[in-house]
Amino acid sequence: MSSEKAGKIENPLASGVQQGLIPQPCILVIFGAAGDLSWRKLMPAIYNLNMDGLLPSNFALCGFGIGAQGDGDTWLRERAKSGIEKFSRQPLVQSHYDDFERCVFYIEGSFNDAQAYSRLKAKLEELDQQFGIPGNRVFYFAVPPTVVEICVSRLKSEGMVLEEETATRFTRVIVEKPIGRDLESAKAVNAAVATAFQEEQTYRIDHYLGKETVQNMMVLRFANSIFEPLLNGKYIDHVQITVAEEEGVGTRVGYYEGVGALRDMVQNHLLQVLCMIAMEPPYSLAPNVVRDSKTEVLHCLRPFTPGDVERSVVRAQYIAGEVHGNVVPGYRREVTDFFSKIGKTAPTDSTTETFVAIRAYIDNWRWAGVPFYIRTGKRLPKRASEVAIQFKDVPQILFNANPDVPLDPNVLTVNIQPEEGLALRIGAKLPGPKVRIYPVKMDFNYQTGFGKDNPEAYERLILDVMAGDATLFMRRDQVEAAWRYLMPVLDAWENSRVRYLPEYRSGTWGPLEADRLIEADGRRWRLL
Amino acid sequence: MTQLPTPIQHETLPLDRIEEELTHVLQSFREPGELVHRARMSNLVIFCDDADRVDEIQELIPKIVAVHPARVILALHGSTEKEGPVTGSVTAWCSVGEEKAKICSEQVTLYSSGKTADHLIFAVRGLITGDLPTNLWWASPTPPALAGSILNEAAEHAQQIIYDSIGWVDPARGVAATGAWVGSMERSLSRGQWRVFSDVNWRRLKFWRRILTQTLDPNVLPGALDSIAEIEVAHGPHAVVQAWLLVGWLASRLGWSVTEGHMRPGVDISWTVQAPHGSLVVCIDRLPDGPSEVRQVRVRHNAGGKPGVLTVSADGGDRLSVVLEGEEASARTLAIRPQPLDELIARQLSDRERDSVFRDSISFAETFARSVMR
């Protein structure tokens, strides 16, 4: 938090206001500003922050990278505009956009070109003068992990990184996932970033953590006395975490092939969500205290033996099928088409998984013996993400005595997308002379309940970086602990040398093997 | 929400038929195969004794419940000689949500007349839904601090009392009484009860406070706050209390105390103020026309021993601009959202945090007000 910085001059006008929420004057430098992430997510997020009056008054945005056509500033402004028009939560209002675009600039240059960094540096210094910014920088690496090292190295050699934050100046860096493709490469990326940026200056972003319902998990657990006492092995039968996507890899084949669902989704989003639902209560809301609690969960995950990988992990690949009535191709076909389109030889026997299901255990006092079933996949019947906490059955007496009339267990569901909200399933008596129990759902939906648009995750997270609040960002040890947990799986897959994965038809809920995994425990996947 | 709420207005009813009629109204919204949800985050009790504002408030309600679904109890009192029974009517505001489900907020309108509104308050009590927070919106031109027992009665079960100090008829008296009133209302709470007080006018100042905090930050403009020589706040008609709150906020944050004050009603107010670094002058000037809001703040300072002026101005309805005279930096702007009253009220309803900065600011505003009433 900024107020903790040594030598920082306190602003009396800010006293009484939550420090973490005050963004500080800065220039946001987007590396890879010509890319998809910048267009779809970052520019609309920054525009929305501007619309909501949340950006600091002394603010400028400078894109950096290759791909501009013509005058760089004009090109980026046009691209930002089209991204806002297409993806922004709030519509483009011309008068606001005119203000916004006046602080958007672009420097064309390769990430490996020392002269380009000199130009960038000069531009940023010019913008400092123009916008009254005291030299503060947020570097957003919206680039592949392979170029992070060179970007960091160039920034450092050009003297664009402060060694540590001072009273009035800071340099912060946002690193996008994936952080590496295994433990070793993640360590290498982290080490490369650490050559220039201290851990306090580094913000590893996982946009799932910026979602309202994910943040609400902590509130749900620690601001309500009715749930927390029940969230342990005594009362919980199991937990299911699902992130289902209806889209295939589409245009992302180039990135996805060779990466797969485990690296793309499980290592970051799903394990982070698991940490939120399973963590012990932190003793304060200070960023590092919260992150300590989450990291402990990762340390408690039961390591996989090679036999466990066989029994507890399922991977699969989608084949052709139908989604929403449209015939869609299989994964291998998409890969072949993509590579032939760009004139490269396509891997004909891709074993990149598009679906993963895992049975995980957290070996600590609270969760001993409670399975956590995790699944994620592409080309499933619908886009839906949720955490479902299923309570144990009541004893088989009274209302649960008759095996012909099973009593549905209670389930607490946290919906992450597309609708954000939570629901509790309970049994209630149907009206009438007989005692008949019927499951009813008590539902809370963010939009209908609170009646307003939730800010996009990126909005919240970018604002947090400007304010110096790292609570919702992954720390180095978290990232590496998550990789460490999954390495036996990656190694086993690497060593198996299989040429075909289990398959599932597009538009179904995954392969039979995934059903068998959970059914072997006498349970079933939830129908979303 | 995919559709603007649709009202169904029903005829005036005796009080004992209101709940039954509400159920009937909600059922009438249900089409075959559809669900109708009663959505309510809180009880919103609106007290209005100003006949001229009834239509305006009625228009705001559907917009408010679209953001903050609530059971609305609109209590209207006409002060006539003729006493009569309290009657009511019911309305529902529905919008179409996901999967054809209708999301409905219910509204009960209560009417009373006579010398006092006592009966009205009893009727309100019977209609409040338990286990939901209760918000009282005091939509009266009388400052709540000067409203007497009727407000105390209406506020009995309220966790939040919302009022709007814009257009108060006697602003100096209103400001002078508010700090003490809030204190006494808080002291009267029994154990386990809590209540917050919210002036919509304070919420309107959010962007002004934000931009002043950012631009006068000692890390951005070193020495400016410690060398302020003069502050001028210009405001449009009826917005003097807003300007007053802004000055109260600055005084509370910067440790100022009032030495003396002068007021020319409807024209300007000035104070000599003692700050830790010495004395300074604070002026509030009324502009003859334009929007009812703070329009400009000029801060004369001697940052780094060099005289400077920072001017923040409302630039149209959707931005604030900052100009530092003598600086090379270009004029900066802060986009601001238009803040219509319905949105301000709706956002305030779910903002139940006790705001210590607001409390401090009204306390300081009170001392400023008392200095000009001597």
Cα A252–A335–A500 angle (5° rounding)? 120
Q: Residues of B with CB below 8 A from A52's CB?
A: 335, 337
pLDDT tens across the length of chain A (528 residues): 333 455 567 888 887 766 556 788 899 999 999 988 999 999 999 999 998 888 888 899 999 999 888 899 999 999 999 999 999 989 998 888 888 898 999 999 999 999 999 999 999 999 999 888 889 999 999 998 889 999 999 999 999 998 877 767 899 999 998 899 999 999 999 999 999 999 999 999 998 888 888 888 999 999 999 999 999 999 999 999 999 999 999 878 888 988 999 999 999 999 999 999 999 999 998 999 999 999 999 999 999 998 999 999 999 999 999 887 788 999 999 999 988 888 888 777 889 999 999 999 999 999 999 999 999 999 998 889 999 999 999 887 888 777 777 788 999 999 988 878 889 998 888 777 877 788 888 888 776 666 556 788 899 999 999 988 899 999 999 999 999 999 999 999 999 888 889 999 999 999 999 999 999 999 999 988
The whole-number pLDDT of residue A32 equals 93
State the pairing for strand pair B102-113/B13-14.
Answer: unpaired
Q: Residues of A with CB below 8 A from B251's CB?
A: none
State the pairing for strand pair A384-391/A371-377.
Answer: unpaired
The whole-number pLDDT of residue A447 equals 66
Q: Answer whether A449 sits within 8 Å of B329, measured CB to CB.
A: no
The whole-number pLDDT of residue A294 equals 96
Q: Answer whether B329 sits within 8 Å of A131, measured CB to CB.
A: yes
pLDDT band at residue B350, thresholds of 50, 70 and 90? confident
> Where does residue A498 rank: exposed (0-12), middle (13-18), buried (19+ CB within 10 A)?
exposed
Amino acid at A16: G
CB neighbour list of residue A264: distance below 8 Å, 6 or more residues apart: A178, A256
Q: Residues of A with CB below 8 A from B356's CB?
A: 16
A178 prior amide bond cis, ω within 30? yes
Q: Answer whether A13 sits within 8 Å of B68, measured CB to CB.
A: no
Distance CA A474, CA A373 (A): 22
Kindly identify which residue of chain B lies nearest to residue A7, measuring between CA atoms: B219
Task: Give the nearest partner residue to B335 out of A51, A130, A451, using CB atoms.
Answer: A51
CATH code matching the domain that covers A210-452+476-519, chosen among 3.40.50.300, 3.30.360.10, 1.20.272.10, 3.40.50.12660: 3.30.360.10
Q: How far B19 CA sits from the closest chain A CA (Å)?
A: 22
Mutation for A interface: B220, B297, B313, most A CBs within 10 A: B220
Express as a percent the part of chain B with pLDDT over 70: 92
Q: Answer whether B334 sits within 8 Å of A9, measured CB to CB.
A: no
CATH code matching the domain that covers A12-205, chosen among 3.40.50.720, 3.20.20.70, 1.10.150.120, 3.30.460.80: 3.40.50.720
DSSP per-residue codes, A146-172: GGHHHHHHHHHHTT-S-SS--SS--EE
Q: Residues of A with CB below 8 A from B334's CB?
A: 53, 55, 57
Q: Answer whether A13 sits within 8 Å of B253, measured CB to CB.
A: yes
Asked if residue A352 lies in contact with residue A216, where contact means CB atoms within 8 angstroms, the answer is no
> Where does residue A398 rank: exposed (0-12), middle (13-18), buried (19+ CB within 10 A)?
exposed
Task: Report yes or no: B250 at the A interface, CB cutoff 8 Å.
Answer: yes
Asked if residue B53 lies in contact with residue B26, where contact means CB atoms within 8 angstroms, the answer is no
Distance CA A524, CA A518 (A): 6
Distance CA B109, CA B25 (A): 14
3-state secondary structure of A357: strand
The pLDDT tens digits of the residues spanning B142-178 come to 899 988 888 888 887 888 999 999 988 788 899 999 8
* B:177-216 residues touching chain A, CB 8 A cutoff: 207, 209-216
Q: How far B214 CA sits from the closest chain A CA (Å)?
A: 7
Asked if residue A411 lies in contact with residue A390, where contact means CB atoms within 8 angstroms, the answer is yes
Q: Residues of B with CB below 8 A from A24's CB?
A: 219
Distance CA B64, CA B72 (A): 10
The pLDDT tens digits of the residues spanning B253-301 come to 999 999 999 988 878 899 999 999 999 999 999 999 989 999 999 999 9
Residue, of B337 and A235, whose pLDDT is higher: A235
The whole-number pLDDT of residue A33 equals 93
Mean pLDDT of chain B: 86
The whole-number pLDDT of residue B254 equals 95
Find the helix or strand (DSSP H, E) in which B261 lies: strand B257-264
Q: Which residues pair with B71 in a beta bridge?
A: B43
The whole-number pLDDT of residue A49 equals 92
Q: How far A203 CA sits from the closest chain B CA (Å)?
A: 23
Q: Residues of B with CB below 8 A from A60's CB?
A: none
Q: Answer whether B69 sits within 8 Å of A10, measured CB to CB.
A: no
Residue, of A244 and B24, whose pLDDT is higher: A244
The whole-number pLDDT of residue A19 equals 54
Kindly identify which residue of chain A lies nearest to residue B327, measuring between CA atoms: A132
* B:55-74 residues touching chain A, CB 8 A cutoff: 65-69
Kindly identify which residue of chain B lies nearest to residue A90, measuring between CA atoms: B337
The whole-number pLDDT of residue B8 equals 47
Strands (E) in A311-367, as ranges, are: 313-319, 321-323, 326-328, 355-361
Distance CA A309, CA A332 (A): 24
* B:317-346 residues touching chain A, CB 8 A cutoff: 318-319, 322, 324, 327-330, 332-337, 346
The whole-number pLDDT of residue A448 equals 64
Asked if residue A221 lies in contact with residue A227, where contact means CB atoms within 8 angstroms, the answer is yes
Mutation for B interface: A9, A21, A57, most B CBs within 10 A: A57
From the list A96, A207, A238, A269, the catalytic residue is: A269
Task: Give the nearest partner residue to A57 out of B39, B334, B346, using CB atoms.
Answer: B334
Q: Residues of A with CB below 8 A from B364's CB?
A: none
Active site residue A299: no
Q: Which two tokens stand for residue B254?
A: 């910067």
Q: Residues of B with CB below 8 A from A49's CB?
A: none
Kindly identify which residue of chain A lies nearest to residue B321, measuring between CA atoms: A57
Strands (E) in A177-333, as ranges, are: 202-205, 236-244, 313-319, 321-323, 326-328
Which one of A267-271, A335-339, B318-322, B354-358 scores highest in mean pLDDT?
Answer: A267-271
Size of interface A-B (CB pairs under 8 A): 120
Q: Answer whether A53 sits within 8 Å of B322, measured CB to CB.
A: no
DSSP per-residue codes, A44-66: HHHHHHHHTT-S-SSEEEEEEES
Task: Give the nearest partner residue to A11 out of B98, B218, B316, using CB atoms.
Answer: B218
Q: Answer whether A449 sits within 8 Å of B322, measured CB to CB.
A: no
The whole-number pLDDT of residue A4 equals 41
Distance CA B57, CA B200 (A): 15
> In degrees rounded to 5, what are phi and psi of residue B286?
-90, 125
Q: Residues of A with CB below 8 A from B207's CB?
A: 53
Residue, of A47 and B352, whose pLDDT is higher: A47
pLDDT at B37 over 60: yes
pLDDT band at residue B331, thresholds of 50, 70 and 90? low
The whole-number pLDDT of residue A254 equals 85
Q: Answer whether A13 sits within 8 Å of B350, measured CB to CB.
A: no
Interface of A with B (CB under 8 A): 8-17, 22, 24-25, 50-53, 55-58, 93, 95-96, 99-100, 129-132, 134, 167-168, 419, 445, 447-452
Residue, of A480 and B184, whose pLDDT is higher: A480
Q: How far A97 CA sits from the closest chain B CA (Å)?
A: 10
Asked if residue A510 lies in contact with residue A380, where contact means CB atoms within 8 angstroms, the answer is yes
3-state secondary structure of B272: strand
Q: Residues of B with CB below 8 A from A46's CB?
A: none
Task: Give the nearest partner residue to A168 out of B97, B216, B219, using CB atoms.
Answer: B219
Distance CA A357, CA A517 (A): 8
> Where does residue B100 rank: exposed (0-12), middle (13-18), buried (19+ CB within 10 A)?
exposed
> In degrees rounded to 5, what are phi and psi of residue A422?
-145, 160
Q: Answer whether A57 sits within 8 Å of B319, measured CB to CB.
A: no
Q: Residues of A with CB below 8 A from B67's CB?
A: 451-452
Q: Answer whether B324 sits within 8 Å of A132, measured CB to CB.
A: yes
Q: How far A123 CA sits from the closest chain B CA (Å)?
A: 15
- Where do you find CATH 3.40.50.720 in chain A? 12-205
- Where do you find CATH 3.30.360.10 in chain A? 210-452+476-519
